Structure 1
Amino acid sequence: MKKSSVRTFPWRGGSLALGILAILVLLPLLLIFWTSISPGGRLDIGAPLKTIVNNRGLLEVLLNSLGLGVSVIALTTIFALPLAWIMAKTSIGRHRWLDVVLLIPFMTPPYIGSMGWMLFMQSGGYMEQLLPASAAVTPYFFSYWGMVLIMSLHLFPFLYLLLRNSLLQIGGSLEEAAAVHGASFAYKSRKVILPLLLSSYGLGALLIFVKTIAEFGTPATFGRKIGFYVLTSEIHRYIASWPIDFGKATSLASVLLGVCLVMWYIQTLISSRYSYRLVGGKGMRSKSKTSGGLAGLASWGYLVFLLIASIGVPYFSIITASLLKLRGEGLSWGNLTLNHYWELLSPGSPGMHALINSLGLAVAASCIAVILGTWFGLTIGKASSWRQKLTDLFSLLPNTVPGIVLVVGLILFWNARWMPIPLYNTYGMVVLTYVVLFLPYTVQYVKSSYGQLDPALMQAGQVFGGSRIYVFRRILLPLILPGMAAGWMMTFTISNRELVASLLILPPSMQTSATYIFAQFEQGAVPLGMAMAVVSVGITTALLLAIEYLNPDRKRRQR
């Protein structure tokens, strides 16, 4: 009797998928490294560090980036740790809508939030118009610590979610056991809660550090205004401004890439060695306190303060600036108008062209990314072979390395003299860059959906005579479609507001909504730029709500 040939649904082309990812992601990064260690055709492994150490200005830029990362970790911790405790250990946490609201700062493009704060705190800005006495302190905002504040208000939701989830997993029985043995609140916090939080906090702090030193939007807007330069802003300057110096740009990019990879490696060590089993077979219950009295008032006050600082101030400034007729006349009902929106969205206007360009590029990139990402995600499967593990690793690289580093690598690779495809400085180059930067989203969504499927479903289709195409079309595709749709929408949303890649890759005379906002703000046409920001954020919000609506987990929770 012959053995059954039915097995897990097969995916061929694994070597081809690995090769395409190597061309799209790995080779550009290796080209950066090679360019930086072979100045003038001479091989010198230490060349990137020598370039920085021997140049006092570049060394200062490196130290600025590292110091900024440490400072943002400190202030983000001050914001996130009390908030996580409030949302996990008090009855305020029952208001689940707060978690959605608290994600708004993290989903807001950093350059837009930075512009909002600058408009609010500048001389004659909205702060001084609302509170004239604040004119004595607003100039101090435009400093290093003002930049730290802006970046911390953008990133604290990320650390907050990690800490809150860890606190929820620390069952009330652990605290009760300490209390039974006479432990005070301070002792319980020091001996029980903080050690269990250390792993999550370490991971979150390292990720905050990487995101800070890789950030471009805030350094390009606020940092340039106060004369504080970091690695990302200097890499952009050496590539985008004359005289172009790819040598220094690749040296800075290599060092930035190296720092980020070291941080990711440390994160892996922490994740594997310093984790605790907090969920067991007995179940758990989290002990929460009522939010009444002075403690409840203080908790709500702290929460409102964070919401005002992270959402209220920047969005008030952005929306107000987009509605003012004349900036010099200040805040008054008679000085409000919608004319900037009409000018922005009128047919044939530069703003409308920029918006259409953004939408067109985002649609093209999303469609290509969802096709490639689905193929890669299905090829990876459960990552059991070395080829699948390498494909998984390469597909995650764009989320691991700073965006500006990958963009520099793509410029070097596709603009090389030996490159037979004349893609650089074309519409296609922009689409390719977006695809490479945001491909991991579709891969992860599809991989997650596919990993939850029982192979017996595909085997059943084959048993009843279905071809591979039929099984894919009628069984597998409908089941992974929500993941594909979520990946498409996420890629579209982020591509539509991407700044650093657009600034470096766009052909001459072509603008997107992000570069339009940046240019208008720099040129003093603030109302038009802020009107575009409102439209862009509105599109992003609508699509994120659509993603949440299509989320199968949400539908299951409602049943």
Structure 2
Amino acid sequence: MRIKRMGTFLALLLLAVLVVLPLLWVSFKSIWINGTLDLLAPIRTVLEKDLTSVFSHSLILGVSVVAGCTLLALPLAWLMAKTPLRKHRWLDIVLLIPFMTPPYIGSMGWILFMQPRGYLEQLFPGAKWVSSHFFSLFGMITIMSLHLFPFLYLILRNAILQIGGNKEEAAAVHGASFMYTVRRVMLPLVFSSYVMGALLIFVKTLAEFGTPATFGRRIGYFVLTTEIQASISSWPVDFGKATSLASLLLLACLALWYVQSIVVRKHSYNLVGGKGSREKIVGHRGWQQALAWVYVILLLGAAIGIPYFSIVSASLMKLRGNGLAWTNLTLHHYGELLTWGSPSMKALTNSMGLALLAACLAVALGTWFALSIGRAKQLPQRMTDMFSLLPNTVPDMVLVVGLIMVWNAPWMPIHIYNTYGMVVLTYVVFFLPYTVQYVKARNGQLDESLRQAGQVFGGKPWYVFRRIVLPLLLPGMLAGWMMTFTISLRELVASLMVLPPSMQTSATYIFAQFEQGQLSLGMAMAVVSVGLTTGLLLIVNNMNSNRKWNA
């Protein structure tokens, strides 16, 4: 017991250094100006440097993307919960593709498709007017909504499924029309779930960097994340401006999390009981099913078909000026990309090496933290649980600014900034919550009698852990490792901010090639990166399905 308490204390201390200290340091540096404490310094900095437009741009974009995701996700959630389309479970997997695609890659695909003389004009010459209107705030909202709507869709679909058909039938018995039932029965019951999903999307939009960095800069629409990155990455470096913007972004996100918790607590209803419920399926008519399929196909075409068509087409073109033609296709760029010793191959191997180290370290730390949390009955365990989730609740840009300032501070005894170690550390901090949650969920399924049985038969604690507990935790550890590895492999924000000057990863290589106009090589790297991570996920899922894990 004493060893366990010591392990929990050390885990809490390490999380405080890795996660809490950088966030506190950003907040402290934003209000500690010239040796004096000024709580209004961040607001004053924003006003003095005329950054109010950047702040308002972020808020407008967040509200607009929430509205766009609602328009896309709500009808789809209804169709997949209340119509015969619900039996097509494969659609749920396909609909996750936009959310699993890195935002900057999806944005690049849309730019290639909609730009003047882009693929849309080449396929449909009369659609030139569409391109001229797309490069605006509307286009940016469209791209980000198509990326984030699957998140809201899954939340709304599950909420609608939980309602069941009994409540609708009860309303119909009392003479309620369809629209009245939707307005007075369905919408209030899914309201808390919608608010939770909408606020999560709002926070993700505020924290998003990839789309604003590619599409937003093209239309001159700058937001908080791009301004923070420019303040640190471009000369003259302005840490005061960066910390002020980062602290305001952090404050806004934490306030939204607090509002979400209040709304969910006040508007939650018990929808699952012991009596069970009967599902009510609508839309049996042929024209209704046809209309539903048209909506789903159009949505999939916009969210998946257009960006991936553009990315793959650009990666296969000999010359951009020759446009879409069979004679203009080649695999030469893939050959150049995968040539050993080439800059692109070095970037890819750098990504794989850094992701491998980060995934292994994250699994080791995450398993330790998850075992320290246990059932989270005591305050230190609950604090460890809360600290381990912080990287998922704050914007990546804020966290990376804090990590840079802490690990580059003169008082820090270990100087890893501007080294490969800093990149690995940033990846670990970013994606540690995945491993902690996977292992914690798996550990919660293990009955205490398993450990007790091992001790009864004379097993020492380390033997019991190695031969009983660890094999049963392996599925959660493998899932956490896989998630950390795949996301680290294509992480852009951390790579842009903390990579040493002479080093590139696949994400920074794609970003640099796109910025420099070398589209074919950049898009070939995008195809390889997405294909590699997708293939790895399929292999791990197949391994898990073929092997039976007993808990």
TM-score range, shorter chain: over 0.9
Counterpart AA for 1:28: P
Equivalent position to 2:273, from 280, 303, 311: 280
Kept in 1: contact 2:66–2:202 (CA 8 A): yes
CA positional deviation for 1:183: 1.1
The 5 Å alignment of 1:261-340 reads 261-340=254-333
Give the equivalent residue in structure 2 for 1:17. 11
Give the equivalent residue in structure 1 for 2:357. 364
Determine the C-alpha separation between the residues in 1 that align with 2:290 and 2:163: 25
Determine the C-alpha separation between the residues in 2 that align with 1:399 and 1:290: 39
2:397 is equivalent to residue 404 of structure 1? yes
SS at match of 1:325: coil
Determine the C-alpha separation between the residues in 2 that align with 1:277 and 1:76: 26
Give the equivalent residue in structure 2 for 1:187. 180
Counterpart AA for 1:164: R
Deviations 1:236-273 (A, max 9, x none): 00000000000000000000000011111112222222
Equivalent position to 2:243, from 222, 242, 250: 250
Determine the C-alpha separation between the residues in 2 that align with 1:553 and 1:311: 29
CA positional deviation for 1:283: 1.1
Give the equivalent residue in structure 2 for 1:502. 495
Determine the C-alpha separation between the residues in 2 that align with 1:343 and 1:552: 37
Equivalent position to 1:105, from 98, 115, 128: 98
The 5 Å alignment of 1:24-43 reads 24-43=18-37
CA positional deviation for 1:289: 2.3
State TM-score, norm by structure 2: 0.98
2:71 is equivalent to residue 78 of structure 1? yes
Determine the C-alpha separation between the residues in 2 that align with 1:394 and 1:368: 17
Give the equivalent residue in structure 2 for 1:211. 204
SS at match of 1:281: coil
Determine the C-alpha separation between the residues in 2 that align with 1:175 and 1:265: 32
Kept in 1: contact 2:475–2:549 (CA 8 A): no
CA positional deviation for 1:294: 1.9
Change (3 A) 1:556 1:368: closer
The 5 Å alignment of 1:357-506 reads 357-506=350-499
Change (3 A) 1:551 1:78: farther
2:221 is equivalent to residue 228 of structure 1? yes
Determine the C-alpha separation between the residues in 2 that align with 1:276 and 1:182: 24
Determine the C-alpha separation between the residues in 2 that align with 1:401 and 1:508: 27
Kept in 2: contact 1:323–1:527 (CA 8 A): yes
State TM-score, norm by structure 1: 0.96
Give the equivalent residue in structure 1 for 2:163. 170
Determine the C-alpha separation between the residues in 2 that align with 1:542 and 1:386: 41
Change (3 A) 1:9 1:170: farther
Q: CA RMSD in A?
A: 1.6
Deviations 1:346-385 (A, max 9, x none): 0110000000000000000000000000000000011111
CA positional deviation for 1:388: 0.3
SS at match of 1:13: helix
Give the equivalent residue in structure 1 for 2:42. 48
Counterpart AA for 1:355: L
2:541 is equivalent to residue 542 of structure 1? no
Structure 1 segments of 4 or more deviating over 6 A?
552-557
Equivalent position to 1:154, from 147, 152, 159: 147
SS at match of 1:266: helix
SS at match of 2:37: coil
Determine the C-alpha separation between the residues in 2 that align with 1:52 and 1:538: 42
Kept in 2: contact 1:482–1:552 (CA 8 A): no
Q: Name stretches of at least 5 consecutive residues in structure 2 with no aligned partner.
A: none
Counterpart AA for 2:134: F
Determine the C-alpha separation between the residues in 2 that align with 1:173 and 1:512: 54
Give the equivalent residue in structure 2 for 1:4. none
Deviations 1:303-331 (A, max 9, x none): 01100000000000000000000000010
SS at match of 2:360: helix
Determine the C-alpha separation between the residues in 1 that align with 2:159 and 2:539: 28
Say which is worse superposed, 108-117 or 534-543, in terms of deviation: 534-543
Deviations 1:496-548 (A, max 9, x none): 00001000100011000000000000000000000000000011211222343
Determine the C-alpha separation between the residues in 2 that align with 1:38 and 1:73: 35
Counterpart AA for 1:29: L
Counterpart AA for 2:48: N
Kept in 2: contact 1:171–1:285 (CA 8 A): yes
Deviations 1:469-521 (A, max 9, x none): 11001110011100000000000000000001000100011000000000000
SS at match of 2:333: helix
SS at match of 1:280: coil
SS at match of 2:34: helix
Determine the C-alpha separation between the residues in 1 that align with 2:468 and 2:15: 27
Equivalent position to 1:201, from 194, 208, 213: 194
CA positional deviation for 1:53: 2.6
CA positional deviation for 1:93: 1.0
Deviations 1:384-438 (A, max 9, x none): 1100011001100000100011000000000001111121100111000100110
Kept in 1: contact 2:99–2:150 (CA 8 A): yes
CA positional deviation for 1:290: 4.4
Change (3 A) 1:108 1:293: same
Determine the C-alpha separation between the residues in 2 that align with 1:277 and 1:151: 33
Determine the C-alpha separation between the residues in 2 that align with 1:176 and 1:105: 36
CA positional deviation for 1:13: 1.0
Determine the C-alpha separation between the residues in 1 that align with 2:174 and 2:48: 59
Change (3 A) 1:489 1:72: same
Give the equivalent residue in structure 2 for 1:3. none
Deviations 1:71-100 (A, max 9, x none): 001111000000000000000110000000
Kept in 2: contact 1:8–1:459 (CA 8 A): no
Kept in 2: contact 1:36–1:48 (CA 8 A): yes
Equivalent position to 1:143, from 123, 136, 160: 136
Kept in 2: contact 1:366–1:492 (CA 8 A): yes
Determine the C-alpha separation between the residues in 2 that align with 1:283 and 1:239: 56
Kept in 2: contact 1:175–1:188 (CA 8 A): yes
Kept in 2: contact 1:377–1:443 (CA 8 A): yes
Determine the C-alpha separation between the residues in 1 that align with 2:118 and 2:80: 34
CA positional deviation for 1:120: 0.1
